[in-house]
Homo-oligomer: A and B are copies of this chain.
Amino acid sequence: MFTGLSAFPLTPLVNGEIDESRFTSLIENLADAGVDSIGALGSTGSYAYLTHEQRFSATKLAVSAAAGIPVITSIGAVRAGDVMRLAEDAQQAGVNGVLLAPVSYQRLSDAEVFLLYERVTAELSVPLCIYDNPATTGFDFSDDLLIALSHLNKVGSVKLGNFPADPDRAIQRVEHLKSKMARGVTLGISGDMQSAAGLLAGCDIWYSVLGGLFPHYAMKLSHAALRGDTTATRQLDLALEPLWAFFRRHGSLRVIASIAEIQGAVQSPCLPFPLQTLIGKEMASLEATLEQLSFLA
């Protein structure tokens, strides 16, 4: 399950409530494209802004609309008791795996992060992906900690956050992690701008924001990379550079939500308050950029 392309769709909101029909359509679009897995209610799916009840009902919708394609969902929360309850809910909703970032208010120590994963994995029946996302959690996993965590029961994958920009250092890091992590635990890249580089350096899976809205293109890129076609991968990635420039300025969530609003795939505004999609000149510029990227659709 933790290989290939994992597509992370938006969870569109209308006045704080989930727009169920559009959410279902986004999932069906991924199922029709045949992505390798669906990361419903990931960071792109605004999981941290939803109530337990919203997360439970959206996860059930996602599993149903995914039509057999594996669904992964995030169980992250500030309160450890909530994480445990969300893990139960997710499994009851029928997910194939869960995703957990060390969400916290106080920045956690390595020892505290280990304790958290140890407690959560002890109760799980489905595999867990360790979600390294320093931009949202303030916590940066060391390789030593990732290696230690990989040996916990039920850990199935690691979704890397910060990744070396230098290709040689990237390969070294992936080789080091793969040689020390528990067998069978896959290595994933996230942060769409660095994902082609991550896959070419040896990662097994792309946890993809782009793939949540444009699954065909993201699959083409990830599969080219995974079969070792460096030239095709780099071309497909380079063509997206105008989009990555927006991701760098505004964060991937605000940009992909803006695109979904432009396309009418979601109602506007679709993000949880106070998060905002682009406005004014930046929105106009994004619309113009999208016309140049018509190959995405």
Contact = CB atoms under 8 A, between A and B. Distances in A.
Nearest to A133: B105
Given A79-B272, A111-B276, A112-B276, 18 more contacts: A16-B81, A43-B106, A49-B78, A49-B79, A50-B79, A78-B78, A80-B272, A80-B273, A106-B251, A106-B253, A107-B135, A107-B136, A107-B251, A108-B275, A119-B273, A119-B274, A135-B138, A136-B138
Nearest to A107: B135
Copies in the complex: 2
A276 B80 CA distance: 13
14 contacts: A48-B78, A49-B78, A80-B272, A105-B136, A106-B136, A106-B253, A106-B275, A107-B251, A108-B274, A111-B276, A112-B276, A116-B273, A119-B273, A138-B138
A276 B115 contact: yes
A137 to B, nearest CB: 9
Contacts of A81: 16
A103 B105 contact: yes
A162 interface: no
Interface residues of A, number: 32
Interface in A108-135: 108-109, 111-113, 115-116, 119, 135
Interface of A: 16, 43, 48-51, 78-81, 103, 105-109, 111-113, 115-116, 119, 135-136, 138, 251, 253, 272-276
A100 to B, nearest CB: 12
